[in-house]
Amino acid sequence: MARESQTGSSTAEVAVLLPAVAILLAVVAGAGVVGGQQVRIQQAASAAARELARGTSAAEAIGTAHRLAGEQISISATASGGYGHVRVVSAVDLPLLGPIELHAEANARMEQQP
């Protein structure tokens, strides 16, 4: 009775599974990048809204947001109706999925000036 050889079968299994493992790792790393950037732009929007609420200028609030989230973000800061409103937009370019646009908004009630 002849017995079939199993030599090289584990190499073939690894060769078949390796692309799937690489894609899975890329997706997990991409999710981490997107999550980290979302946290950064939300913190930047909140800090800029607090700056507006304290009565600082929109330019200073935008500078605060840029310091926290980087220069690649797009920011709009307005103060109206007793509230400071800040909207931050950022794009993250992922290798397998392409660019993803992230948004963050924050509002803060204007402080009463004595």
The pLDDT value recorded for residue 81 is 86
Contact indicator for 84, 97 with CB cutoff of 8 Å = no
Exposure string for 75-86, b = 16+ CB within 10 A, e = fewer: bebebeeeebbb
Asked if the structure places residue 43 within a domain, the reply is: yes
Tell whether 114 is covered by a domain: no
For residue 2, tell me if it sits in a domain.
no
Q: Please report whether residue 34 resides in a domain.
A: yes
pTM value? Answer: 0.78
Q: Looking at residue 108, what is its pLDDT?
A: 94
pLDDT at 32: 92
What pLDDT, on a 0 to 100 scale, did the predictor assign at position 103? 96
Q: CA-to-CA distance for 40 and 54, rounded, in angstroms?
A: 21
Q: Which domain holds residue 93?
A: 12-109
Angle between helices 9-53 and 58-69 (to 10 degrees): 160
How high is the pLDDT of residue 112?
73
Amino acid 50: pLDDT: 94
Q: How many domains does the chain have?
A: 1
The pLDDT value recorded for residue 79 is 86
Contact status, residue 76 vs residue 41, Cβ threshold 8 Å: no
pLDDT in single tens digits along all 114 residues of the chain: 556 666 667 888 888 899 999 888 988 988 899 999 999 999 999 999 999 999 889 999 999 999 999 899 999 999 888 899 999 999 999 877 789 999 999 999 998 755
